[in-house]
Structure 1
Amino acid sequence: MLRIVRAFWHDQRGIALILVSIMLPAIIGFSLLAIDMSRVNNLHNDLQKGADAFALAAAAELDGSSGSWARAERAMATLVDNETNFSTAGRFTLTSGQPGGTQPCNNAGNISWCFLKAIPDNDGTKITTANQVNYLASANQAVGETETQFIQVTVVPQGFAAIFPVSFLSSDASNSFNVGAVAVAGFTSGVCDFTPVYICNPYENSTDSIYDVAADPAKRRRLIELRQQGGNSAQNSPGNYGFLQPPNASGGASAIRDMIAKTRSQACYNSRGVLLRPGFIATVRDALNVRFDVYNGPMNGNRNDPDYAPGENVRKGYQTQGNACNADAVSPAQPTNFQNLPRDNCFATSCSIANGRVGDGDWNFDQYWNTNFNTTINPVSVPKPIGADGINPASNANQPTRYNVYRYEISKGIVDHPSNGGERGTPACSTNSVSDPDRRLIYGAILNCQALVAAGLMTGGSSSPPLPVEAFGSFFITETVESGPDQTIRVELVDVTGRGGQGTLDNFLRDEVQLYR
């Protein structure tokens, strides 16, 4: 009997069943936890993907123009369709709505959102009810839409019921809790193939904004005198220009000069911040004048290089002296024989905008046309271009922009027509020309220099940190750049990016939408 008891005591068969029986509750519990974790993770992923999709769809409309809030709401309501699973509501689709687009914060369907003008610099800093006022766009819709750069989308928390019996562990615990998601997306605009130039907004603190001017042909024809930062002109004055640090950091004077002179700059800049390249570059005059078929100084050896080709129309009021490359401005002036696109009449007396740096748009079209096309010996057979009224022929009483006249000459094939003095608009010095009517345009970042100086972000031609861009613009160079201490460039505004733009810069734009949080 004792031997049987001892054998039973030492017998280990079936012990696994005992251990499994003891551990079975824990095994089942861990299995339920794993299932719950998978379910809640899938629910959160669905909600987060929905929040991300809503935020990205809305951010694509936040271009700073009027109606952008309403367009953002419409995008969320019509473009996004995200299904979620595993909530207490079962399978359902996240929805939004269009409450009107008039408030910086609103809600509809399963989400709420706020339009933001900024986000915290540190990703670890959350946007909460307490600090939201620091980042929220203005409640004034006109102002708020202009400054909105981001949107924060919050999904209404959804209920989740766990399978694991949490109440078994504690009577105060609950098997149910809520799961939510938040996403922040923003709109970034940049340009590529832009010259490394910035221009202090000529209309900063003016009754006209740069966008008002871009939208009005009568204001676009105002001549603007741009003077190089670092010359004898006042620092950071409206209408000053300077240079941007190229993306590849090759900011030497010769590199900047060549980027300005070439037919394609191949540089990209972001509207959220550009770095300035300080310093005066005397040879910028030579770089810009290649557009007019003028090759002086370091550009002399590039006259037959296609990368430095002149434009299609280089009429500039010059008289050939010996050979085509020795043409020079007529001195003293002979306006009835050689006439470039004239300056605004007020520059002979006193212009009132931007301390005399911006004209009033009143220029002598009749003088230009009669000298170059309505000549006494050989008048052109095409009619005059249309004037500012969009109906009748141009005249001093119905003045077009100089840029429109320049483009009209190209479109009508009269560039080669000789003036009374024999000047033609076709290039004669270089063996190349660019079949691009916009070769006579210079592209630049428009900065609100006075505001940046007041904020301590800009000193002279230097900046720290990268400076925000008000807009990117294109400017038509009306005449060759003169020599002198400020390398003055005389231009007409052609177009700007943003809400007042005419769309001619779309090929340069690189609009990007991205998630930030």
Structure 2
Amino acid sequence: MKRRGPFANRRLARFCHEEAGSILVLWIASLVAILGMTALVFDIGRVQIAHGDLQRFADDVALAAAAELDGRSDSITRATNAASKLISNPQAYGGDGTLSGATDYTLTFLDGLPAADTTDPSGYTTTDPIDATLVQVVTTPVTLDPMFLRATRTLAGVTGPAQATVFAESIAGFSMEACDITPLMFCKPTGWSATQASSIGDGILLRSGGQGAAWGPGDFGFLDVSSSAIGSSCFGLNGAKLIGCLIGAEDNVTGCYAQRGVTIEPGQKVGLENAVFNTRFDQFRGVMSQFKSNANYTVAPNIISGLVPQGNACGWNNVSASTNSIGLPHDNCFATGGCTRFGTGSWDYANYVDSNYGNRNGILEAGEDSHLVSHIPAAFAGTRYGVYLAEIAYAQTAGLPSGAILSDRDETGIAQCSSNVSTNPARRVVIAAAIDCTKHPINGAATNVPVDEFVELFMTEPVGTGVGSPPSFDLWVEVIGSAGVAGLGAAGTGGVFRDVIQLYR
């Protein structure tokens, strides 16, 4: 039997009483914790990457679908197709490597959102393509297997599945905004649209709507300008004076109006006179007489109206009819009683040309309109606006004194009062919001009223003196076309039109 020596016994005793090695126990325990934390960070990182992929996919799908929600009858169908066909994103974890197609998400269409972000929006669900303005996207949940967490749970003796389920949600919406337009609106008949070819050239009698009685097709009012971004020409004004400036001045600047809902003010307003419309016809009277020399209030390059001032070039307080010229005629149906506010586009071109350029015998004879025909744009053939443009083009080469359009007539067709003349033919064009007042009843001031479209209207004649208090005016216009409808961003030629597609949640 081998016996231990005294030296070995001393080492064993010293080892048993040694405390310096106790740090090894703490080190081993810390190493286990560090490895566990490292594993946890790795697993959480995988979860975060997976969620990031799903969130990007949800956002992209929501934006693609929302871009089609323009209020048309097929908007939901187009939105569903866009979501399934336009978006394909990579997926790092939890799937087949690609996020694409309807199996990877669920679409829900909404007509509004609750005020609080934490509130469930299911109460705003809609299947109506006209009302659907937002889309909610919820991705199909993805299950991840956190390998290190599973190993840690096994070492710790914890039973049960170790899985992480990840999904993402996004809500996007569509709206159209019209900026820098005339703050004007009018009621349109149900089903009428300036996008229809048959509407181009139609004459309309717009009459300012008052407070109280229900408005119908042809009544007009103003868009609220209290929150507008005002340009230098109208800065510091408010109320009727501000509206007058925004209507009367050229290149005015207004805020943006959302197609989904505008605020309306009555067309009959105290302090607002017809003169604010007529600066473009060289008529500076009443409240607008002070702007005769103001370069912001320009005159259109063609102002043939069949009216002449009395006394001097600016004597528009007492106007008289020209004895040998006429303004652009109304649609024939207004005279026969075949229409009330919206015409058919059929007007007496022959009488207009013969009265202003012919021998005034009531017959359009050969050659009397030869100087105009070649200048009428094909897009506006048969319209008063086309003739107006042709007269401007003709005057540039006719060689008449001072660039006149008419000769041997009581009026020349160009400004006589103001020296500030616009070079832009669109000076007599206004862009107005068209609203279905049958579907959305109006009887004066109103808020959050949807706009069907923004329409370009040509002012065919000066606005006549109003009657009543506040005064009611008649505004005769011709439809040029649609300046902007939902889904046709940047379609305007006068103002700025844009589609606004954004994420809300």
Assess same fold via TM > 0.5.
yes
Please give the TM-score of this superposition, normalised by the length of structure 1: 0.79
Query: Residues 350 and 419 (structure 1 numbering): CA distance in 2 closer, same or farther, change over 3 Å?
Result: farther
Summarize deviations over 1:287-326 as a string: whole Å, max 9, x none: 1100111111121121222211011111111124343222
2:428 corresponds to which of 436, 440, 458: 440
1:359 aligns with 2:349: no
1:350 aligns with 2:337: yes
Residue 489 of structure 1: how far off its partner (Å): 0.9
Residue 419 of structure 1: how far off its partner (Å): 5.5
Q: Equivalent residue for 2:275?
A: 286
Residues 169-178 or 284-293, more deviating? 169-178
Q: Equivalent residue for 1:236?
A: 215
Paired amino acid for 1:48: Q
1:409 aligns with 2:416: no
Q: Which runs of 5+ in 1 are unaligned?
A: 97-106, 139-143, 395-399
> Which whole-Å CA distance do the structure 1 matches of 2:192 and 2:496 have between them?
19
Residues 2-11 or 342-351, more deviating? 2-11
Q: What is the SS of the residue equivalent to 1:325?
A: coil
What does residue range 363-512 of structure 1 map to in structure 2 within 5 Å?
A: 363-375=347-359, 379=368, 381-384=370-373, 400-413=382-395, 416-418=404-406, 421-453=409-441, 460-464=443-447, 466-485=448-467, 486-496=472-482, 497-498=484-485, 503-505=491-493, 508-512=496-500
Residue 182 of structure 1: how far off its partner (Å): 2.3
Residue 7 of structure 1: how far off its partner (Å): 7.8
> Which whole-Å CA distance do the structure 2 matches of 1:85 and 1:333 have between them?
80
Q: Equivalent residue for 2:233?
A: none
1:94 aligns with 2:99: yes
Q: What is the SS of the residue equivalent to 2:422?
A: coil
Q: Equivalent residue for 1:161?
A: 145
Query: Residues 373 and 62 (structure 1 numbering): CA distance in 2 closer, same or farther, change over 3 Å?
Result: farther
Residues 152-161 or 62-71, more deviating? 62-71
Residue 493 of structure 1: how far off its partner (Å): 2.2
Whose Rg is larger?
2
What does residue range 87-236 of structure 1 map to in structure 2 within 5 Å?
A: 87=94, 89=96, 92-96=97-101, 107=102, 110-128=104-122, 131=123, 134-138=124-128, 144=129, 146-163=130-147, 164-165=149-150, 167-168=153-154, 173-199=160-186, 201-204=187-190, 209-211=191-193, 213-217=194-198, 219-230=199-210, 234-236=213-215
Residue 266 of structure 1: how far off its partner (Å): 0.9
Query: Residues 383 and 307 (structure 1 numbering): CA distance in 2 closer, same or farther, change over 3 Å?
Result: closer
Query: Residues 51 and 448 (structure 1 numbering): CA distance in 2 closer, same or farther, change over 3 Å?
Result: same
Residue 32 of structure 1: how far off its partner (Å): 1.6
> Which whole-Å CA distance do the structure 2 matches of 1:487 and 1:428 have between them?
25
Aligned-residue RMSD, C-alpha: 3.6
Query: Residues 500 and 294 (structure 1 numbering): CA distance in 2 closer, same or farther, change over 3 Å?
Result: farther
Q: Count the aligned residue pairs.
A: 468
Please give the TM-score of this superposition, normalised by the length of structure 2: 0.81
Summarize deviations over 1:16-65 as a string: whole Å, max 9, x none: 22123234444332322222112101110111112212222333343345
Q: Aligned residues: percent identity?
A: 31
Judge conservation of contact 2:372–2:394 (CA < 8 Å) in 1.
Answer: no
1:60 corresponds to which of 67, 89, 92: 67
